[in-house]
């Protein structure tokens, strides 16, 4: 993954500092430019209220420009406080919108960003961060979204976990995880959660004696090999390891083959998102997952499951929306 330009939306609160405070880490690792964005949440009743009481002000000419100027200065002050490398600071974007998520998504679509970093908490996080706005951005953004509840530090990034089922969409998160693991020198784990008491679990029927985890592991590895065979543009291959559940993922990078060992983790649970959250909170330093997986209400990485994981997970997480060609 080549990260050259990053967008960090912030509500300028102390609670939203995690994303800003993590900017230097990505600048150091990827030598990227960082744009900062603030959306002034406009009440839909504000303009009407001025008109009704007869205040001789034009919102677009008299109020909005001053609001934007003030907030841009504050955004610049936040950048001075949290981003040390002045040359890597990009644009300061300030907009006014009734729906902050709409402005952020428009900005993401307008500029070819490689990553969006958002704090998991803000001053009004019930409405903005980890609320309806964040859910919309995660669901609709074609750019990967990194959400943080605390500042990321490279010395703490030891294990990257990718929750995945047998679907192509979930497996499409692995190339990004590979690049991140190489960049940060982290271990890579693939986590597969089998929801008990569901039918047709990857073609392996649950029994009273449980599920054959070795069979699930073999099936998942087979699907992974098929995935990279079908999507040759990723230029990855899987090599069987000498140890059970341990294999090697190799990538051809400009004629140079780069490899990393990964471990497959199989878990069983009544609800997949509970097990993902529990395992990742205990073992992961970064979670990378697709916003969609298999279809059907009982499947592991359906959008609703991903949203529940995002809302409950304490660890940094990157969500991607794969654009796979059939």
- pLDDT value at residue 7: 96
The answer to whether the CB of 121 falls within 8 A of the CB of 149 is yes
The confidence score (pLDDT) of residue 54 equals: 55
**CA atoms 63, 68, 69, 74: torsion sign:** positive
Strands 317-320 and 115-119: unpaired
pTM of the model: 0.84
Using 70 as the pLDDT threshold, list the residues of the chain that sit under it: 43-63, 121-132, 197-210, 292-304, 326
Whether 199 contacts 325, CB under 8 Å: no
- The Cα–Cα gap between 285 and 98 comes to 35
pLDDT tens, position by position, 42-97: 764 454 445 555 555 555 666 677 888 888 898 898 888 888 888 999 999 999 88
Q: Report the C-alpha gap between 310 and 55 in whole angstroms.
A: 44
Name the CATH topology of 154-320.
Answer: Rossmann fold (3.40.50)
Q: Write the pLDDT tens digit of every residue in 7-39.
A: 999 888 777 778 888 888 999 899 999 999 999
DSSP letter assigned to residue 73: H
Burial code (b: 16+ CB inside 10 Å, e: under 16) for 112-138 equals: ebbbbbbbbbbeebeebbbeebbbbbb
Helical packing angle, 303-312 and 132-140, nearest 10°: 130
The helix/strand/coil state of 237 is strand
Please list, in sequence order, all residues whose beta carbon lies within 8 angstroms of the beta carbon of residue 140, skipping any fewer than 6 positions away. Answer: 105, 321
pLDDT of residue 222: 93
Do 25 and 51 touch, CB atoms closer than 8 A?
no
Could you give the CA distance from residue 167 to residue 214 in angstroms, rounded to a whole number? Answer: 19
Cα 125 to the center of its chain, rounded Å: 17
Q: Which homologous superfamily is 5-148 in? A: HUPs (3.40.50.620)
pLDDT of residue 199: 46
Start and end residues for every CATH 3.40.50.620 domain found in the chain? 5-148, 154-320
Helices (H) and strands (E) in the chain, counts: 11, 12
User: Is 47:59 a contact under the CB 8 Å cutoff?
Assistant: yes
């Amino acid at each position: 993954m080549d990260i050259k330009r990053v967008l960090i939306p912030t509500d300028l609160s102390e609670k939203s500092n995690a994303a800003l405070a993590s900017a230097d880490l990505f600048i150091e690792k990827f030598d990227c430019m960082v744009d900062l964005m603030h959306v002034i949440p406009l009440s839909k009743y504000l303009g009407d209220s001025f008109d009704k009481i007869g205040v001789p002000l034009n919102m677009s000419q008299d109020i909005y420009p001053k609001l934007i100027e003030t907030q841009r200065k504050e955004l610049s002050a936040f950048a001075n406080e949290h981003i040390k490398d002045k040359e890597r600071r990009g644009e300061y974007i300030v907009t006014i919108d009734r729906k902050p998520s709409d402005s952020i998504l428009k900005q993401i679509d307008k500029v070819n960003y490689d990553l969006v970093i958002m704090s998991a908490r803000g001053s009004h996080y019930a409405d903005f961060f980890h609320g309806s706005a964040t859910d919309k951005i995660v669901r609709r953004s074609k750019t990967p979204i990194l959400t943080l509840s605390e500042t990321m530090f490279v010395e703490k990034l030891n294990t990257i976990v990718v929750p995945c089922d047998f679907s192509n969409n979930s497996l499409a998160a692995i190339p990004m995880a590979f690049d991140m693991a190489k960049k940060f020198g982290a271990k890579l784990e693939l986590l597969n959660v089998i929801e008990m008491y569901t039918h047709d679990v990857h073609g392996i029927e649950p029994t009273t004696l449980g599920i054959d985890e070795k069979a699930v592991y073999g099936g998942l590895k087979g699907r992974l090999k098929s995935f990279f065979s079908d999507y040759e543009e990723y230029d990855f291959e899987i090599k069987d390891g000498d140890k059970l559940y341990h294999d090697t993922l190799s990538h051809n990078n400009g004629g140079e083959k780069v490899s990393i060992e990964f471990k497959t983790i199989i878990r069983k649970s009544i609800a997949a998102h509970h097990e993902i959250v529990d395992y990742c909170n205990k073992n992961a330093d970064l979670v990378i997952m697709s916003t969609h997986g298999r279809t059907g209400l009982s499947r592991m990485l359906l959008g609703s499951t991903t949203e529940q994981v995002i809302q409950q997970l304490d660890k940094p997480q990157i969500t991607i929306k794969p654009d796979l060609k059939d």
